[in-house]
Amino acid sequence: MMIIDGQAEFRSLIMHHVTTHWPDAIISAYDPTEAGYLPDEFSGAGNDIVLLGSASGDRDGLAILQQFCKTQGFPAVVYFGNQGDAEEALKAGADAFIVRDEVRHDALTVKLSDVLVSRRRVASTGSLFVGDERTGIHPLIRGYRFLEKLGATSHSSIYLAERESTGVKIVLKVLQQLPDVADNIGAFDRFLQEYELIAEIEHPNIVKIYDLGVSDEHAHIAMEYIDAGDLRRRISAGITEPDAVRYLRQIASALAEVHRVGILHRDLKPGNIMLRSDDSIALIDFGLAKRMRLRMELTDEGEIFGTPYYMSPEQGHGNDVDHRSDIYSLGVIFHEMLTGQKPFRADTAMGIIYKHAQAPIPLLRPRFSRYQALLNMMLAKLPDDRLQSSDEIEEWL
């Protein structure tokens, strides 16, 4: 980065913020009032971002900004000006505008990071983008060829890609938001934990993890590509009773292994259960998982994670959960596989949460009555009244 401003205190302040967030950043500072004005042919070469302040002696900072932005190939420019300069600065071509007297660390680093991402340049610390999308290689991760974007959440994006070395199709899950920004620290930790938790497990009904990549600002997980769709789609198409029972057995077996190593899934739902081409189940997406043995929580007390349709009563009310909460979620899924309907429905999320805690467990149709006792044990309102381990599901079956 290059900082251009006539006030030494301002240059020092910005350098402090930048180096606190990016300790390895290479920063050059330039005082136009002492060293003279930069020539018209100045191209900004060698920088990812130019931080231009409005203190430029007898020259108009906005005019300098306009000159920079007209130069072909000039790096991103963030302009620090006075209140009221924003519209003119952005019209002149600035990638972002910040009021120079109102610099706040978090807001500054978020804005600089957004500019780096939007310009798709490689920062000295290793930003999200490495490469050129026009070449056919996706600009997120080296060594993989982009095929298509499969989806996104508030914290990550999912891509179908192939390894350049082998041509094998894989799924890349990439964290989009920055770990050092307020409210994102927990998300980043959970994302990294997802890999560490799944990597410990080798089970035929849990997604295979191939690779993890981590830099100062992003992480990615390369995992098995499963091409037969998810259980949600299969339920919509209709599932036979034998298939529903077979899927239940496989999911329960995967959960038992997950619980054995001290992991909670906490977001078990049909969309997180994939089907391979051989019709076997693969449990995915441990983004909300946590080790039960961790003493320090990654979320605030009382914060609700998960999907209301599949939440246990205790999870829906923000209370402590253990492995029996996952068993409850699996009971909801089993009911839906058998009947095509969710056991508890309402017009609002809070209405669904209330029914999980208060409404009676639905009765299955007579032809499924043999499973009623098992369903009752999985969907019991109190954890102590439920099956106490996923292994017991096989015993009941």
CATH number of the domain residue 193 falls in: 3.30.200.20
Q: Are residues 179 and 139 in the same domain?
A: yes
CA dist., res. 167 & res. 157, Å (int): 21
Q: Are residues 220 and 235 in the same domain?
A: no
Amino acid at 58: D
3-state SS of the chain is: CEEECCCHHHHHHHHHHHHHHCCCCCCEEECHHHHCCCCCCCCCCCCCEEEEECCCCCCCHHHHHHHHHHCCCCCEEEEEECCCCHHHHHHHCCCEEEEHHHCCHHHHHHHHHHHHHHHCCCCCCCCCCCCCHHHCCCCCCCCEEEEEEEEECCCEEEEEEEECCCCCEEEEEEECCCCCCCCCHHHHHHHHHHHHHHHCCCCCCECCEEEEEECCCCEEEEEECCCCCEHHHHHHHCCCHHHHHHHHHHHHHHHHHHHHCCEECCCCCHHHEEECCCCCEEECCCCCCEECCCCCCCCCCCCCCCCHHHCCHHHHCCCCCCHHHHHHHHHHHHHHHHHCCCCCCCCCHHHHHHHHHHCCCCCCCHHHHHHHHHHHHHCCCCHHHCCCCCHHHHHHC
Question: End of a domain among 173, 189, 224?
Answer: 224
Is residue 126 situated within a structural domain? Answer: no
Q: Which of 5, 48, 85, 267 is catalytic?
A: 267
Is residue 128 situated within a structural domain? Answer: no
CATH number of the domain residue 84 falls in: 3.40.50.2300
Question: End of a domain among 119, 147, 162?
Answer: 119
Q: Is 267 an active-site residue?
A: yes
Q: Are residues 196 and 115 in the same domain?
A: no
Q: Which residue has the tokens 């009904």?
A: 205
Is residue 110 situated within a structural domain? Answer: yes
**Structure confidence at residue 154 (pLDDT):** 55
Q: Are residues 189 and 275 in the same domain?
A: no
Q: Is 251 buried (19+), middle (13-18) or exposed (0-12) by CB count in 10 A?
A: buried
Domain hosting residue 81, numbered range: 2-119
Q: Show Cβ contacts of residue 204 under 8 Å, excluding neighbours closer than 6 positions.
A: 280
> 140: how many CB neighbours lie within 10 A of its CB?
22
pTM metric for this prediction: 0.62
Is residue 127 situated within a structural domain? Answer: no
- Give the tokens for residue 292: 């039960």
**Structure confidence at residue 126 (pLDDT):** 35
CA dist., res. 264 & res. 119, Å (int): 38
Strands 49-53 and 76-81: parallel
Q: Per the structure, how many domains does the chain have?
A: 3
CATH number of the domain residue 261 falls in: 1.10.510.10
Is residue 32 situated within a structural domain? Answer: yes
Q: Are residues 242 and 306 in the same domain?
A: yes
Q: Are residues 298 and 343 in the same domain?
A: yes
Q: Are residues 207 and 275 in the same domain?
A: no
**Structure confidence at residue 91 (pLDDT):** 93
Query: What pLDDT tens digit does each residue of the chain (397 aa) get?
Result: 999 999 988 998 898 888 877 777 788 888 888 888 888 888 888 788 999 999 988 889 999 999 999 998 899 999 999 989 999 999 999 999 999 998 988 788 888 888 887 765 333 333 333 333 433 334 556 778 888 878 766 566 788 888 888 889 999 887 754 444 444 555 566 666 667 777 778 899 999 988 877 665 567 888 999 989 999 999 999 999 999 999 999 999 999 999 998 888 888 999 889 999 999 999 987 754 544 433 323 333 344 444 689 999 998 888 888 999 999 999 999 999 999 999 999 887 788 999 999 999 999 999 999 999 999 999 999 999 999 999 999 999 9
Q: What is each CA distance from 6 to 9, 50, 274, in whole angstroms?
A: 9, 14, 58
Q: What is each CA distance from 141 to 50, 172, 177, 268, 360, in whole angstroms?
A: 25, 9, 15, 29, 50
**Structure confidence at residue 359 (pLDDT):** 96
Q: Are residues 213 and 237 in the same domain?
A: no
Question: End of a domain among 119, 147, 173?
Answer: 119
Q: Are residues 252 and 371 in the same domain?
A: yes
Is residue 285 situated within a structural domain? Answer: yes
Q: Are residues 261 and 151 in the same domain?
A: no
293-315: pLDDT as tens digits: 333 233 333 444 446 899 999 98
Q: Are residues 277 and 196 in the same domain?
A: no
Of 11, 91, 95, 25, nearest in space to 54 by CA: 11
Q: Are residues 349 and 385 in the same domain?
A: yes
Burial 12-30 (b: 16+ CB within 10 A, else e): ebbbebbeebbeebebebb
Is residue 47 situated within a structural domain? Answer: yes
CA dist., res. 92 & res. 89, Å (int): 5
Is residue 275 situated within a structural domain? Answer: yes
**Structure confidence at residue 396 (pLDDT):** 94
